[in-house]
Chains A and B, each alone.
Chain A
Amino acid sequence: MTDKIAVTLRVNARDYRIEVEPRRTLADAIRTDCGLTGTHLGCEHGVCGACTVIVDGHAVRSCLMFAVQAEGSHIRTVEGLADGERLSPVQQAFHDHHALQCGFCTPGFLMLATAILEDNPRIGADDLRHALASNLCRCTGYHNIVIAVQAAAEKMR
């Protein structure tokens, strides 16, 4: 055990004052200390992308960052996408196009796709597929994920 450090995480425009060991990953802090369990943890070594969140505008693997490193950053998780009952364009498109089956990978894909489209809603089809290859879906639902993100892109242009 090492001493806990007081950290303020700003997640979805709300401050969470938490105390964590330095070894607490951002993913675990979001889930356990902030209570935001929408962010999922799969492989815990940066391969699967289930834990993808947006930190200061960039999609990142929250299992490969420590919570203490995120002090002062703006973190966005899947809980912050919808505006009340109104789904974000990416969420709505996943619903409309059946872009999820078991749903485990979905929060990571939603955050990845949101970051991609906020950076460039006119991204080309090949570049989009290349970028979406960052995350894994073990239900093999990639086809509908690509279709959904393309549909969301049209709405976000």
Chain B
Amino acid sequence: MKPAPFAYHAPRSLADAVRLLTELGDDAKVLAGGQSLVAAMNFRLARPAALVDINRIASLDFVNSEGGTLRIGALARHARFERPLVEGVLGGLLPYVARHIAHLPIRSRGTFAGSLAHADPASEWCLVARTLDAEIVLTGPKAERRVPAADYFQGVFTTALRSDEIVSEIRIPLPGAGWHGGFAEFSRRAGDFALAMCLALIRIEGGRIAEAKIGIGGGADRPLRIAAAERALVGQAPDAAAFAAAADIAAREIDPMSDIHADADYRRDLVGAMTRRALAHALRA
């Protein structure tokens, strides 16, 4: 189908974009990569009265790492993450995760920040932001807010983002030495949305797990950390038995969605399997 009519605005600065959003009110949407929004508009599931296209705001197109923080601008596209951007555990992990996002032409346009604004429960970048304790920078008409990922995601397609704000930047603290990371995702076909996925990071010290971060995506209405599984790993040797125990906890703790793609029991099984695989991947990577 074809989109419903809308007014088009292409501001050249973030301040102008936010001013436009304030003036236009709730019926305006931000257009970044457009790979979810334009599809929804073609279906007429979304019928915004106005679009504020941020693609011509050059200052939003950046990725850099300074002082132990990876800073991702609103226009950084998925494809940019397919090559290593930082040293350390995320150097190999982010490209591995990025290659699971949709398909190549979608990755050429879609943006990291757009994924967070859209907040699909099966979004890889939402899982990354939650698991790595990212800070989401929201720029509004009066000020900038920095919202921890733990508070930002509120449900399916629901976040702390207000209609007059733009996700202008994401800040991810870079894990230090000793961290290992792994990722596993299950979808029925390559490029489909995940039915379940896990991002697992463990810090190993003296042959034992000293810290762990277990994030689950696709299983529930938002990306979640499984604190009980993280606690169970600490102090253990990083072996199959410890990973299986943590995976069982993750499967038990999650409150899985049931939909046409997978029922709750199946998703729960997948959460366990993905947690085991992500931890095993962390040890290998």
- In the complex, whether A91 has a CB less than 8 A from a CB of chain B is no
Q: In the complex, what residue of chain B is closest to A2 when comparing beta carbons?
A: B5
Q: How long is the Cα–Cα vector from A5 to B108 in the complex, in angstroms?
A: 26
Q: Is B190 an interface residue (CB 8 A)?
A: yes
Interface string of A1-37 (1 = CB under 8 A from B): 1100100000000000000011101001000000000
In the complex, besides A44-B2, A60-B108, A134-B104, 19 extra interface pairs with C-beta distance below 8 angstroms are: A2-B6, A2-B8, A22-B6, A23-B4, A23-B6, A58-B79, A58-B108, A58-B109, A59-B104, A59-B105, A61-B106, A64-B42, A66-B38, A66-B53, A68-B8, A68-B53, A69-B31, A130-B99, A133-B191
Tell me which residues across on chain A come within 8 A of B4, comparing CB atoms: 23
B7 at the interface (CB under 8 A from A): yes
Query: Interface digits, A130-147 against B, CB 8 Å rule (1 contact, 0 not)?
Result: 110111000000000000
* Residues from 41 to 93 in B contacting A, C-beta threshold 8 Å: 41-43, 51, 53, 55, 79
Q: Count residues of chain A with CB under 8 A from any CB of chain B.
A: 30
Known contacts: A21-B5, A22-B6, A68-B10. The answer to whether A131 contacts B104 by CB under 8 A is: yes
* A46: chain B residues within 8 A (beta carbon): 35, 38-39, 106
**Chain A positions within 8 Å of B141 at CB level:** none
A residues at B contact (CB < 8 Å): 1-2, 5, 21-23, 25, 28, 44-46, 49, 52, 58-61, 63-66, 68-69, 112, 116, 130-131, 133-135
Within residues 2 to 47 of chain B, which ones have a CB less than 8 A from any CB in chain A? 2-8, 10, 31, 34-35, 38-39, 41-43
Chain B positions within 8 Å of A, measured between CB atoms, are 1-8, 10, 31, 34-35, 38-39, 41-43, 51, 53, 55, 79, 99, 103-106, 108-109, 190-191
* 18 pairs of residues in contact across A and B, judged by CB atoms under 8 Å: A2-B8, A22-B6, A23-B5, A23-B6, A25-B38, A28-B2, A46-B39, A46-B106, A58-B105, A58-B108, A58-B109, A59-B104, A64-B34, A64-B35, A64-B39, A112-B105, A133-B103, A134-B103
- Cβ of A113 to closest chain B Cβ, rounded Å: 11
Q: Which of A23, A65, A116, A135 contacts B2 (CB 8 A)?
A: A23
Give 5 closest A-B pairs by Cβ, nearest first.
A22-B8, A134-B103, A58-B108, A45-B39, A23-B3
Answer whether A25 and B34 are a contact pair too, CB < 8 Å, given A45-B43, A60-B105.
no
Query: Which one, A69, A133, A135, contacts B53 given CB within 8 A?
Result: A69
B104–A45 touching, CB < 8 Å: no
For the complex, would chain A's binding face be called helix, strand, loop or mixed by DSSP majority? mixed
Quote the shortest CB–CB distance from A117 to chain B (angstroms). Answer: 12
Could you tell me if A64 and B2 are in contact, using CB atoms closer than 8 angstroms? no
* A65 to chain B: closest residue by CB: B34
Instruction: Give complex CA distance A56, B104 in Å.
Output: 15
Contact B8 A63 (CB under 8 A): no
For the complex, give the distance between the alpha carbons of A45 and B44 in Å. 11
A116 and B104 alpha carbons, distance in the complex (Å): 9
B101 to chain A, nearest CB (A): 12
Q: Are B190 and A2 in contact (CB under 8 A)?
A: no
Q: Known contacts A60-B108, A134-B103, A134-B191; is A44 also within 8 Å of B8 by CB?
A: no
Contacts of A65 in B (CB 8 A): 34, 38, 109
